[in-house]
Amino acid sequence: MRNYFADMISSFLSGGSGGISTGLFDLSFLLLIIAAAAYMIHLLRRSKPAWIVGFSALCAVIPIMTAALVLRWIAAGWEHPPWSNLYESLVFFSWGLIVSYAVVEVKYKVRAAGAFVVPLVMIAMGMASLSGNKEIGGLMPALQSIWLHLHVFSAAIGYAMFIVAFGFAVLYLFRDEVPLPSFLAASAAVNMLSILALTRGQVFLMRCPLIKSIFTNGKIEKVMSFETAKPSFIRIELPGLGQFLFITLILFAISLFMSWRAAKKGDEQSRRRSILFFIFPMILYFLVLAHMIYKSGRFPGFHLQTNIYSVALLGFTWIIGLLNLMLAVGGETMRETLPPAKILDGLTYKTIMVGFPILFFVILSGAIWANQAWGRYWGWDPKETASLVTWIVYLIYLHTRITKGWMGRRSAFIAIIGFVGVLFTYLGVNLLAMGLHSYATG
């Protein structure tokens, strides 16, 4: 941790490319940690001071990040907005999410969703902080298009609306008296899936191969002179990680079973037990996360790069687990403090109504751009395909709601699946496959 801060300060002071803006982003990250904690306390305790702290921190982050983004834009000689690599993409999407959330909160005066949205932004900014390449790079020629601006900007806002909708959907389910241990069961299942994805199914062999690209600077480049300019990948294993994840997976499986039974039984004792059984793997999972963060960037001349996605995946699922744990612990008293279920359901619908046309525009602008750059408007690139899946999920949400009159729980479930789709489109695709979206490589 000490080193991290030292790095932060030195990056803040060094006048190198993006030095100050990087420092400002790190500052926003710290503020976001405060905001996330405050919003979570606000959800748990309904404490107004906590909300004031959280909202002020959030409001402070907006000008800081805006300034930092503009600084980066200036540093790039006004040639392109700061959207050229993974780091800048994460920062910009975080910015979009914060701004969108702040607008929704001010407009609808429902503060509880902040407990879901702000921690997710915090994770995204944390990922950005860990990202290996923070340089302001030039845009490769294919990205030099007016469509880049429209495409990326609308994507940031569209994704943000869906993430906010997800927050409302989970709160709706909570308000709608879904048995508390079900939240733990769902979260345990999601965490198990993320372990499977992280290890590419090799967790059963107690292995966790992390693929990382070689950062072409320093000594390594000279040792390995590659014929092509393409990034090369090697697999590494952090010792003990596979075994650790295997145990975590087993514990999550036990937790899943316990909470599923508790949800069925519905008595207080089994609820307590399910919470206890959920806490163990959560602690283990946090240690895995901490270990990976600690290890990243600690190989001389290398930076863990693709690994950022693994860290993000762990971070997102863990923080969602933590929130679900809060809901399960907070229990019935917390339920009553939330806005009525009907309002939460309506807000989910409203935010999706905003996100859906935007996502359509994102896909359309991407198609127009691809047609201009490569001569085909659609190429079933993994990213295109994943965004189409997400769009179809929300299409199902709207069709079931408008024509079949679905509301409430079933709609909320679809909104949550849609959120998984958004995460998959933005990050998951990059874990599984490489596409045309160059920020995939960092």
C-beta closer to another protein: residue 260 or 391: 391
Task: Choose the binding region for another protein from 49-57, 101-109, 110-118, 355-363 (rule: CB under 8 A).
Answer: 355-363
Residue 202 sits in the site that holds another protein (CB under 8 A): no
Task: Choose the binding region for another protein from 107-115, 180-188, 254-262, 378-386 (rule: CB under 8 A).
Answer: 378-386
Residue 379 sits in the site that holds another protein (CB under 8 A): yes
Residue 361 sits in the site that holds another protein (CB under 8 A): yes
C-beta closer to another protein: residue 239 or 405: 405
Question: What does the alpha-carbon distance between residue 122 and residue 63 come to, in Å, rounded to a whole number?
Answer: 16
Residue 380 sits in the site that holds another protein (CB under 8 A): yes
C-beta closer to another protein: residue 283 or 392: 392
* Site size for another protein (CB under 8 A): 47
Task: Choose the binding region for another protein from 181-189, 268-276, 319-327, 363-371 (rule: CB under 8 A).
Answer: 363-371
Residue 422 sits in the site that holds another protein (CB under 8 A): no
228-287 residues in contact with another protein (CB under 8 A) are 229
Residue 399 sits in the site that holds another protein (CB under 8 A): yes
C-beta closer to another protein: residue 291 or 350: 350
Closest distance of CB 427 from another protein, Å: 13
Residue 78 sits in the site that holds another protein (CB under 8 A): no
Q: Provide the residue type at 186 as one letter.
A: A
Closest distance of CB 40 from another protein, Å: 28
Residue 356 sits in the site that holds another protein (CB under 8 A): yes
C-beta closer to another protein: residue 281 or 428: 428
134-163 residues in contact with another protein (CB under 8 A) are 137-138, 140-142, 144-145
Residue 375 sits in the site that holds another protein (CB under 8 A): yes
C-beta closer to another protein: residue 78 or 380: 380
Token pair of 125 as six digits = 């900014």
C-beta closer to another protein: residue 101 or 397: 397
Could you say which of 295, 367, 408, 413 contacts another protein (CB under 8 A)? Answer: 367
291 half-sphere exposure, CB direction, 13 A CA radius: 14
**Per-residue 3-state assignment (H helix, E strand, C coil) for the chain:** CHHHHHHHHHHHHCCCCCHHHHHHHHHHHHHHHHHHHHHHHHHHHCCHHHHHHHHHHHHHHHHHHHHHHHHHHHHCCCCCCCCCCHHHHHHHHHHHHHHHHHHHHHHHCCCCCHHHHHHHHHHHHHHHHHCCCCCCCCCCHHHCCHHHHHHHHHHHHHHHHHHHHHHHHHHHHHHCCCCHHHHHHHHHHHHHHHHHHHCCCHHHHCCCEEEEECCCCHHHHHHCCCCCCCCCEEEEECCCHHHHHHHHHHHHHHHHHHHHHHHHHCCHHHHHHHHHHHHHHHHHHHHHHHHHHHHCCCCCCCCCCCHHHHHHHHHHHHHHHHHHHHHHHHHHHHHHHCCCHHHHHHHHHHHHHHHHHHHHHHHHHHHHHHHHHHCCCCCCCHHHHHHHHHHHHHHHHHHHHHCCCCCHHHHHHHHHHHHHHHHHHHHHHHHHCCCCCHHHHC
C-beta closer to another protein: residue 138 or 331: 138
Binding site for another protein (CB under 8 A): 137-138, 140-142, 144-145, 229, 342, 346, 349, 353, 356-357, 360-361, 364, 367, 369, 371-382, 385-386, 388-389, 392-393, 395-396, 399-400, 403-404, 424, 429, 432-433
